[in-house]
Structure formats: structure tokens, C-alpha cells
Amino acid sequence: MSEIKNNGQLKENRIIEGYIKLETGLHIGGNKDSLEIGGVDAVVIKDLKTGKPIIPGSSLKGKMRSSLEYLLGLCDRDKKNPDVLHIHASIEPCNDKNCPICVIFGSSKNELSFKTRLIVRDSIALEEESIYTEIKMENALTRVNLSATPRKFERVPAGTTFPLELVYSIYDQNNDRKLFSKVFEALTCIEHSYLGGQGSRGYGKVKFYITKITAYDNAYYKNEGKERVIFENEKGVSPSEVRKKLYS
């Protein structure tokens, strides 16, 4: 990959639209307003105005970043215990001008500062029902004496859909365009893993459906150009299928 050259001028924004469908219940934790006897132990985060569950952009972006770190082998190893992995550039600064993680997700802790290429919007559930969540009973087992402590988890039920909107900014015509494919790789990794908490217990299996990708170049923002549709599919297709279509 050639060295990234960026003079700070925005060349193009690419807006990815689609939706997220839950295959199993989702738990992304929120704050409880009060403590209740017999109440839910862990609630989900909700939109204050509508009461609907939300997927914070920070949660999805963080999962995309960690998924790419593992996929590309760019996690930092703990100095005392090499078997312990940390997020990229948290132990040692990364000064690689071509680092996909730093370029796509941004970095200000290194000697080289990168402006994030990726924006992930907050997403509010599309469902119009009055009941948006379910309560799942679980037991926390003490392995020594096998005693059980019951607990209640609030989840967004399977089948719920959320809108998906990502914005990918291009400053370098060559490298940023190449790294655009990593967005779809990260989403595919999440499909094969989980989103939110309690994933090892079956929570958080999701599917992403991409319906449209639109490019807005520099001229568009100066009223000198028009948007350009890169990809469109009304029903939506998986991130891996989009990647194949764009890079085959």
C-alpha cells in the first residue's frame, strides 16, 4: 500500500444505508432510574423521547474496530503477559501512516494524528409496537457449591429491525478507497460474532442488509455536482455480497 497523502481536503463522502435485523435478543446496557425489589437487573439503553431501544453508534463502531483488529492481527500485547491482548495503540503508539485501524477509525494518541474516516449513526428501533423489549431470566451459578442466583436481563427481542447509516469520508483517492472495503469486512465479522453484551450466551446475533451506497464528491457540497449511486438494492444484501460486487 502506498503512503497516505492527505492535504486535508475532503474528496468524497460515501453514505451507506440499510438496516440491522436481530436474529437473537440484543442487550446493550443502559442506566436504571431507580432500584426496584424484584426488578430487572440489567436494562437496555433506550431513546429518552420515544422509549424505543437504540443501538448507539459508539457501540457498533467499537465492535467494528475490535473486529478488524482481530481480523488483521493488530491488537497490542500486554508487556507483562503476552497472552493478554489490548486494543490497538493502547500500549505502544502506532506511527504507521498506512495503518488501517488508525486511518479508518481515527487516532490522536500517536505522533501521527488521523482524522476518522468513519461515522456511525445512532439507530432507533423501527418497530411501532408499544412493547419493545423482553425480560429473560437467567441464573448465575457458583461452581463451588452449584448455588444459583437468579437475575433478570432486559433484551430487545429477535426480529426487531434498526436503520443503518454509516458515513465514510475519502481524503486520499487511492488509499481511502481501498480501505473502504474494510468497512464491509468488519460488518461481516460482527455477523459471525455478536453485537452488545452476553454474546457467549446467545445474545446479539445480527444481520446487516445494505440497500444503498451514495457518493457525494467535493463539487456536490459547492453546488457544482450531483450525488452518484454506487450500489442499490431495495431488499438489501449482506456486507460480504456488497464487497464482492464493488471489488470483483
Query: 66 lies in a domain?
Result: yes
Report the share of the chain in percent with pLDDT over 90. 52
Q: The domain containing residue 30 runs over which residues?
A: 12-247
Is residue 6 in a domain? no
Average confidence score pLDDT of the chain: 85
The rounded distance, in Å, linking the Cα atoms of 6 and 113 is: 12
Confidence of residue 142 (pLDDT cuts 50, 70, 90): low
Q: How many CB atoms lie within 10 A of CB 62?
A: 14
Average pLDDT over residues 161-182: 93
Grid coordinates in use for 92?
505502544
- pLDDT of 173 reads 79
* pLDDT at position 238: 97
CB atoms within 10 A of CB 63: 23
Name the residue with higher pLDDT: 34 or 23: 23
SS (H, E, C) 131-163: CCCEEEEEEEECCCCCCEEEEEEEEECCCCEEE
C-alpha cell at position 96: 504507521
Q: Is the pLDDT of residue 36 over 60?
A: no
Q: Per the domain annotation, does 137 fall within a domain? A: yes
Cell of 157: 427481542
Residue 192 predicted with pLDDT over 90: yes
Residue linked to cell 426487531: 160
The predicted-structure confidence for 126-140, as pLDDT tens digits, reads as follows 987 767 888 887 766
3-state helix, strand, coil in the chain (%, to 5): 20, 30, 45
Do 163 and 123 touch, CB atoms closer than 8 A?
Answer: yes
Q: Greatest CA span in the chain, whole angstroms? A: 72
- For 40-58, the pLDDT digits (tens) are 457 888 998 988 999 999 9
Report the pLDDT averaged over residues 99-109.
83
Whether 4 is in a domain gets the answer: no
Give the contacts of 171 (CB within 8 A, at least 6 positions apart): 6, 7, 8, 9, 10, 11, 115, 117
Domain assignment of residue 2, yes or no: no
- Residue 51, C-beta contacts closer than 8 angstroms, at least 6 positions apart: 132
231, part of any domain: yes
In a domain, 112, yes or no: yes
- HEC string of 165-206 equals EEEEEECCCCHHHHHHHHHHHHHHHHHCCCCCCCHHHCCCCE
State the total domains in the chain.
1
DSSP conformation class of 123: E
pLDDT of residue 172: 84
With 90 as the cut, is the pLDDT of residue 152 above it? no
Q: Is residue 5 one of the residues assigned to a domain?
A: no
Confidence of residue 236 (pLDDT cuts 50, 70, 90): very high
Residue 7 in this model has a pLDDT that exceeds 50: yes
Per-residue confidence (pLDDT) for residue 37, from 0 to 100: 38
pLDDT bin (cut points 50, 70, 90) of residue 113 is low
According to DSSP, residue 61 is labeled H
Report for 106-115, 140-149, 236-245: range of highest mean pLDDT:
236-245
Backbone CA torsion sign across 83, 84, 87, 92: negative
